[in-house]
Amino acid sequence: MQYQIDPTISAIDSELHALVSKINILDAVKPLNYLQEKETFFANNFSNSPAFTYKTNDVDTFALKRKLYNLPLENIKDEDLYTLYLAVIDSYADKIDQYKSIGTNEFLYDSLRYYGEPSEKDIHNAQFILHLPPNPNDKIGDIVDAQGIINILSAMVEEEKYTWEMKLDETMVANALVSGTTVRINSNAKLHETDAHALAHHELGVHLATSLNSSMQPLRILSLGCPLSTMTQEGMAILSEYLSGNLTLQRLKTLALRVIAVKSLIEDKNFRTTFLILKETYNVSDEQAYTITARVYRGGGYTKDYLYLKGFSLILNAYEHEKDFNNLLTGKTSLEFLPLITRLINKGLINAPHFITPAFKNPVQSDAVNTFITHAIR
C-alpha cells in the first residue's frame, strides 16, 4: 500500500532533483576529440599519450553545495527517509567536486575520494583471472556490427515492454551507455554475438530497468543514486550477464584488465605506459588496450572501472543470500541501503520494482568452469 507523500517531502525531493539531476559525470568525461586522438596515437606508433579535451561547465561548487545543505531535511520525520536524503546529499557534495574538476589534475584525486581504489584482494582476483587458460565451453558466436547490436537490444525491449530512446554515437569510448531512458550505442561497435547479448542484459536488463523503475516512484531520489550505487549497479549488470549465460571468461578478463589499468593509473604511470603494459604484458590487442586505457584515463583519471569486478563479486553473494535482493532494482540503489529500501517499500513510501531483470527471473545454469571462477574471486 502506498501512503500519501507529505507535500513538504515532495518539495524537498523536487528541489534536490532540480539542483543535481544535470550532474552527469559519465556524459561529461566523454572526450570531445576521442577519435582524433586515437588516430594520432596509432599513427605515431604509440609514442605520445592522447591529450583529451572536454566540455566546459560553469557549475559554482560552493553555491550548489550551500543550496544542498540548506534543504530543510529536519522536516522529514521518517528516520529512514531522512537518512537516505542526507546520504544522497553528502554523496553529491563529493560528486560535484568531481564534476567540476574534469580535465584537470584534481580529477584523479576527486575520483579516488568518490570511488576509492583497488584493494590487494581486488588486484589478486584480477591477476587470478588473467592467468587462467581459455574456457573451452565459452561460445562467442559471429561478429555483429552496431545494427546487429541494435537488433538484439530491440528484441529485448519488445519482450520486456521497456520504454526507450535509442541513439547512435560514433564518439563514444564504451560500446553502449544508458542515461535515463536514452540508450546510446557506439556506431563503430563490433562484438561477438554472445557479447552483444551480454550487453543487452547489462545495459537494458539492469541500467534501463532501474531507470524505468525509478521513474515510477512517488519520489525522485532513487533516480539520483544512493552512495556507492556505481558498485551495486555495475555489479548487478555483470550478474545479469552471468545469469543470462552470456558472461564468458574473456569478458571477465576484460574486467580484470580494467583493474590492472586503474592500478597503473594510481601508480602515476602515463597513458602510453599503461597501454603498453596491457599490450605487452597481457597480450591484449592494440584496439582493446587503447579502449581500456582510454576508459580509465578519461577526465584525468576515472577510477570507477575497478568496481565492475569487485561489484560483481559482492552482488553475486547478495543474490545468493539476500531474500529481498530484487528490491535493489527500485532505482539507482546500493547494497548498503538494501535494508532501508526494503523498509521504505514496506511502509509504502516507495514502490517495489515493476521491471525485474530478465536473467534474475529466469537464470540460466552456468557451466562448471564459470561457476568455479566466479565463486573463487570472492
Helix axes 249-266, 120-130, angle to 10 degrees: 140
Cβ-contact 13, 19 below 8 angstroms: no
pLDDT at 3: 64
Q: If you search the block for the grid coordinates 551507455, which residue do you land on? A: 177
Q: Any residues with CB less than 8 A from the CB of 257 and at least 6 apart, and which?
A: 126, 130, 278, 282, 284, 288, 292
Rg (CA), the chain: 21
Q: Any residues with CB less than 8 A from the CB of 92 and at least 6 apart, and which?
A: 20, 23, 68, 224
Q: Any residues with CB less than 8 A from the CB of 322 and at least 6 apart, and which?
A: 338
Give the residue extent of every domain in the chain: 7-376
Q: β-strand 182-186 against 176-179: which pairing, if any?
A: antiparallel
Question: How many Cα atoms are found within 13 Å in the side-chain-facing hemisphere of 1?
Answer: 3
User: With 0-12 CB in 10 A as exposed, 13-18 as middle and 19+ as buried, what is 237?
Assistant: buried
pLDDT at 367: 84
pLDDT at 76: 96
**Over its length of 378 residues, how does the chain's per-residue pLDDT go in tens digits?**
556 788 999 999 999 999 999 999 999 999 999 999 999 999 999 999 999 999 998 899 999 999 999 999 999 999 999 999 999 999 999 999 999 999 999 999 999 999 999 999 999 999 999 999 998 888 889 999 999 999 999 999 999 999 999 999 988 889 999 999 999 999 999 999 999 999 999 999 999 999 999 999 999 999 999 988 999 999 999 999 999 999 999 999 999 999 999 999 999 999 999 999 999 999 999 999 999 999 999 999 999 999 999 999 999 999 999 999 999 999 999 999 999 999 999 999 999 999 999 999 999 988 888 899 999 987
List 186's β-bridge partners, or say none. 169
Separation between Cα atoms, residue 134 and residue 373, nearest integer Å:
12
pLDDT at 2: 56
pLDDT at 340: 98
Rounded to 10 degrees, what is the CA torsion of 73, 79, 85, 89? 80
Separation between Cα atoms, residue 31 and residue 294, nearest integer Å:
9
Nine cell digits for residue 191: 562484438
pTM of the full structure: 0.96
